[in-house]
Amino acid sequence: MFQFRQKELARSIVDSIQLRNSSYRFMHVCGTHQDTLVRHGLDQMLIDAGIDVREGPGCPVCVSTTREIETARQFARSGKTVAVYGDMLRAPGFRGSLETEKAKGNSVVVVYSIENAVEFARAHPDREVVFMAVGFETTIPSTAVVAENGPPENFSIYSMHKLTPPAVEGIAKLGHVALNGMILPGHVSAIIGTEPWENIRATVGMPQVVAGFEPLDLLIGIHMLIRQIEDKTPRVEIEYGRVVKHGGNERAKRVMNDVFIPVDSEWRGFPLLPGSGMKLRDIFSSIDAEKKYEDLLEDLKGRKFSDPPGCKCAEVIRGEMYPWNCPLFGKVCNPDRPIGPCMVSSEGACAIEFKYGKLRNVRAGAASTTAA
């Protein structure tokens, strides 16, 4: 087992990459990977070594659509108590956010987990509590367990859950950004295993490596991707073997599939992605907020919602643009006054760039706004 912060090993991996004198572009779909890359300055080191790594659709708050945020606001405006993670509170909808609703006196409470939201509902039987269920495969099982265990009658779930593999496949097929390989999220893969990634390899034939979250995990993962390219044998490899197994977590997969059904879903910056959303199965209709309060959502049907004016989150999420290429970055958009969701969430590329790479100059080799 390597030491996760071994500086000499990190340097030797980067040197080995640099010696190849090659130029590759990789994408990951994980806010924690982006945090590691920017916080430790790996992105700069890698760019100097010819490797451009971009964050794709890996931040749950960022990929949530304006329509989804407007749906949650509608629940709040209609007298429901919306239970929400802190990150989601400020995510901009159409001219406002859930924070705006709270400021108007509507009921919005911040929770730290779905269990926390259930506790709140039990403690306030006079209120109808709607939990905004956001996140990928890492949070879907905990939502599913609560649904299976029978929450109180005044509790319901608005599922905004999304699946990662359809987004990875979607971005590879979209082809707006030329990619040489994908760095896959370790925590998601601990749940789903490698089979969904193998299916993507079969359709798009792209090198993929499941990586952990330490700086050395990422550097080793990138080195493995380069080896695949050199071998001309795209495959799915696991760098994060101390946590991820090929079969994933059978129990988590079972509960997820018992409670949820995949549906086509919109993501910010993407057209409808087939099978990428997770909605509650019919037997859970009584706790499905979209069904329970269907009449409240009539107004939203057919309405089109534009993204915040000037915000380039869609391009950032697709990896077509770096945060610092957005004309609003650090000027009118910052964590205190975020314009788009990528500046709201701690997993968003703009927030991470602002925090750790703060207003640094455009870096050599990464100056172009749009990838080839």
Interface contacts to ligand SF4, rule CB under 6 A = 311-313, 316, 323, 326, 328-329, 333, 339-340, 342-343, 350
- Would you give the DSSP letter of residue 361? P
DSSP state of 363: P
Nearer to ligand SF4, 181 or 341 (CB): 341
Assign 156 to helix, strand or coil. strand
CB of 53 to ligand SF4, least distance (A): 18
Rounded to an integer, what distance in angstroms lies between the CA atom of residue 278 and that of residue 140? 8
Provide, rounded to whole angstroms, the least separation between the CB of residue 92 and ligand SF4: 9
- The answer to whether 325 and 12 have CB atoms below 8 angstroms apart is no
The total of other beta-carbon atoms located within 10 Å of residue 233's CB is 9
> What string of DSSP letters covers 275-326?
EEEEEE-GGGGGGBHHHHTGGGGGGGTT---PPPTT--HHHHHTTSS-GGGS
**Residues in contact with 253: Cβ distance below 8 Å, sequence separation at least 6, in sequence order:** 191, 192, 193
Q: Which residue is nearest to ligand SF4 (CB)?
A: 340
CB closer to ligand SF4 out of 170 and 308: 308
User: Which residue, 206 or 326, is less far from ligand SF4 as judged by CB?
Assistant: 326
CB of 115 to ligand SF4, least distance (A): 31
Measured from the CB atom, is 133 or 134 closer to ligand SF4? 134
Going by C-alpha positions, the residue among 221, 159, 219 that lies closest to residue 189 is 221
Based on CB atoms, which residue is closest to ligand SF4, 171 or 352? 352
To the nearest whole angstrom, how small is the minimum distance from the Cβ of residue 55 to ligand SF4?
12
Side chain identity at 91, as an amino acid letter? A
Shortest spacing between CB 360 and ligand SF4, in angstroms: 14
Smallest gap, in angstroms, from Cβ of residue 34 to ligand SF4?
Answer: 13
Nearer to ligand SF4, 182 or 314 (CB): 314
240 vs 324 by CB, closer to ligand SF4: 324
Q: Shortest Cβ distance from residue 187 to ligand SF4 (Å)?
A: 24
Contact, 298 vs 290, CB < 8 A? no
Task: Please list, in sequence order, all residues whose beta carbon lies within 8 angstroms of the beta carbon of residue 187, skipping any fewer than 6 positions away.
Answer: 30, 32, 138, 213, 243
